Amino acid sequence: MSVTSPVSQAAELDPLLLRAAMGDRAAFADLYRRTAPRLLGVCVRMLADRREAEEVLQEAYVAVWQRAKTFDPARASAMTWLIALARNKAIDRLRQHRSVAGDFATELESIPDEDSIPAVRVERGEEYRRLEQCMEQLQPKQRGCIREAFFSGLTYNALAERAQVPLGTLKSWIRRGLLQLRACLET
Amino acid sequence: MSTSFEDDQNNLRYAEYVLGVLDADARAAVAHEIATSDEAAAAVALWQRRLMPLTELLPEVAPSAGVWPRIRQALGWDVRRESRSVGFWGTARPWQWISLGATAVAVFCLVMLLRAPVGGIPGAGHIALMVSSIRQDNGVTDWTATMDLDRKQIVVVPASFPAVPIGRSTQLWLIPAGKAPISVGVFAAANTTVLPLSKELLAQLGPTAALAVSYEPPGGSPTGQPTGMVIAKGAISGAAT
C-alpha cells in the first residue's frame, strides 16, 4: 500500500465511497484495499484480540456497503466516516459479550499515552495536530480519561472502576474535557 | 453559537456516544436519534470529525487474506457471474478466462434453447443458464437472478440491500410478453434464495419474458397476482457470464 498524505488520501477516498454508494463494487474493493489496515489497527487496539478484530472489520465493511448511501462528504471525510463506523462496531461488540469490570487490572495512571506507542504512522494530519494542541490544554486527568475512553470503548462505569474514582467524578472530568475540547477546536 | 446549559447537555450525549462511554441502552437510543433526526446525525458527525483524528497515532494492521472473501460472501456476491468485480485478487485472471468460457458455453446453450420449440428443455448433460438483473426504476440493481434450466431452479441473490417494509414479503414474478404474471415464489430479500422452476415457468422463460418483484402480504399474494407495488423489474437476457 502506497503512503499517501492525508489530504490526497481524503481526496481519493471520498469519490470511492460515493461510487460504492451507487453500487460500484470495484470502487468498494479499492476502498477496502486502501482503508482496511487503518480500520483494523483501530479494531485491534479496542478489542485487543486479532481474530475478533478481524470479525468486527468484516462486519464493518458489510455495513459500509449497506450504509454507503448515508455518507455525506459535506459532514465528514470518508476516512472519518469509516473509522467511526468501525469503532461503533467494535464498541457494540464490547457491549455484547464482555464483562466490563474486572477484566482489566490496569489503573488509569499506568495506561501509556501516545508517546510510548511506536510512531509507525509518520504522517499526521492537520486535524490531528489541532486536536493534540487542544488536548494539551486539558488537565492531565481529563486528557487521560478521554484518551482512555476513546481507545478502550469502556463505559463510564467501567472506566470509573478502572480509575478507582467515583462515577460522578469521572463523568465530570470527561464531560468538562469534551466541552473544553469543543470550545478549543471551534476557535 | 448557542452554549446554553441544555444545549450542552444534549450535545454532550452525542459526544459521549462518539467517545464510546455510553452503555448499550443509551447507545441504542442515540443510534435511533441519528437514524431519525438530521440534527442529531449532524451533531454526531461533527463530534466524529473532532475526535476521530485521535486514531492517527495507531499503527496500521494488515488484514489476513481471508477477510475480503468473507466480506464478499456476506454480501452475497460470490456467484458465478460476479467474478468480474473481483478486481485486485490475484485469481482475477484465471476467473476471467473461466468466466469467458462459461459465457461461450452458456450463449451456445441459450441459442440451442431458443431454437428449440417453446418449452423445450435441454436434456441431461447440457448447461443452460439465463440471467436477469432485477432493477429499480432508478437503475439500482436489487437482485440478480440466475435460472438454471437443467436443475429447474432459479437463484435470487441480493445485489444491494433494499429496505423491505416491516410486515411485507417480497415475491418474484415471471411476466411473459403480453401475458399475466406467474408467481415464481416468495423469497428472502436480503439472502440468497433458491426457488424451483415449474414446467409452466420453464416453458415461458426467454428473452421476451421479464422478472418482477412486488411487495406482498407475509407469505405472498393471496390472489395469485401481484397486489402490491412492483419495486423492481428485469429483462431476461443473455446468459450467465
pLDDT band at A9 (very low <50, low <70, confident <90, very high): low
Q: What is the pTM of this model?
A: 0.58
pLDDT at A77: 92
Q: What residues have CB less than 8 Å from B61, skipping those under 6 apart?
A: A37, A40, A41, A44, A50, A53
User: Which of helix, strand or coil describes residue B40?
Assistant: helix
pLDDT at A103 over 70: no
Task: Give the whole-angstrom CA distance, residue A67 versus residue A60.
Answer: 10
Q: Is A146 close to B71, i.e. CB distance below 8 A?
A: no
Whole-number Å distance between alpha carbons of B132 and B145: 5
Where would I find the beta strands (DSSP E) of B34-181? 129-135, 141-148, 153-158, 169-175
| Residues counted in chain B | 241
Helical packing angle, A25-47 and A78-97, nearest 10°? 50
- ipTM summary value: 0.85
Mean pLDDT, rounded, for A4-8: 50
HSE at residue B10, side-chain half, CA atoms within 13 A, is 11
Residue B47 has pLDDT above 50, yes or no: yes
Q: Rounded mean pLDDT of B111-139?
A: 60
Of B1, B56, B160, the CB nearest to A125: B56
Q: Which three three-digit cell numbers place residue B202?
A: 420453464
What does the pLDDT read at residue A102?
38
- Asked if the C-beta of B38 comes within 8 angstroms of chain A's C-beta atoms, the answer is no
Judged by a CB distance cut-off of 8 A, whether residue B74 touches chain A is yes
Structural domains present in chain B: 67-114 (no CATH), 122-240 (2.60.40.200)
Band of the pLDDT at B44, cuts 50, 70, 90? Answer: very high
Taking 60 as the threshold, does the pLDDT of residue B88 lie above it? no
Provide the pLDDT for residue B143.
86
**Residue-level pLDDT at B180:** 87
Interface test with B, best of A56, A59, A83 (most B CBs within 10 A): A83
The residues that bridge with B147 in the sheet, in sequence order, are B130, B154
Instruction: Give the mutation candidate from B55, B134, B160 for the A interface (greatest A CB count, under 10 A).
Output: B55
Check residue B225 and report its DSSP letter.
S
Q: Is the pLDDT of residue B217 over 80?
A: yes
pLDDT of residue B185: 92
Q: What is the mean pLDDT of residues B6-32?
A: 90
| B54, B62, B87: residue with CB nearest A150 | B54
H or E element at residue B7: helix B5-19
List B residues 144-173 in contact with A (Cβ-Cβ < 8 A).
159-161
The average pLDDT across A102-111 equals 39
Mean of the per-residue pLDDT values for chain B? 78
Q: What's the rounded mean pLDDT across residues B202-230?
A: 86
User: Where residue B104 falls among pLDDT bands split at 50, 70, 90?
Assistant: low
Q: Using pLDDT thresholds of 50, 70 and 90, give the confidence band for residue A12.
A: confident
pLDDT at B3: 53
Beta bridge partners, B172, equal B185, B213
Q: pLDDT tens, B136-195?
A: 877 777 888 888 888 888 988 887 766 777 778 899 999 988 888 999 999 888 777 888
Q: Stretch B127-133: mean pLDDT, rounded? A: 75
| Predicted confidence (pLDDT) at residue A107 exceeds the cutoff of 90 | no
Task: Note whether B55 contacts A41, CB cutoff 8 Å.
Answer: yes
Q: Tell me which long-range contacts A49-56 makes (C-beta under 8 A, separation of at least 24).
A: A50/B61, A52/A93, A53/A90, A53/B61, A54/B63, A54/B64, A54/B67, A55/A93, A56/A86, A56/A89, A56/A90, A56/A93
Side chain identity at residue B128, one-letter code: A
Which has the closest alpha carbon to A16: A77, A62, A58? A77
What is the three-class DSSP state of B215? strand
Residue B241 has pLDDT above 70, yes or no: no
Give the pLDDT band of residue A167 (cuts 50, 70, 90): very high
**Phi and psi at residue A123, to the nearest 5°:** -85, 125
Please report, rounded to a whole number, the percentage of residues in chain B having pLDDT higher than 90. Answer: 32
- Average pLDDT value over all residues in chain A: 84
The residue-averaged pLDDT of A148-171 equals: 94
Residues A154, B77: C-beta atoms closer than 8 Å: no
> What's the average model confidence in pLDDT over B204-220?
87
Q: How far apart are the CA of B156 and the nearest CA of chain A, in angstroms?
A: 17
At A20-77, the pLDDT tens digits run 999 999 999 999 999 999 999 999 999 989 999 999 999 999 999 999 999 999 999 9
For residues B156 and B172, the answer to whether their CB atoms sit within 8 Å is yes
pLDDT per residue as tens digits for the range A115-124 = 444 433 445 6
DSSP string for residues in B98-111: HHHHHHHHHHHHHH
The pLDDT, as a whole number, for residue A127 is 85
Give percent of chain A with pLDDT exceeding 90.
71
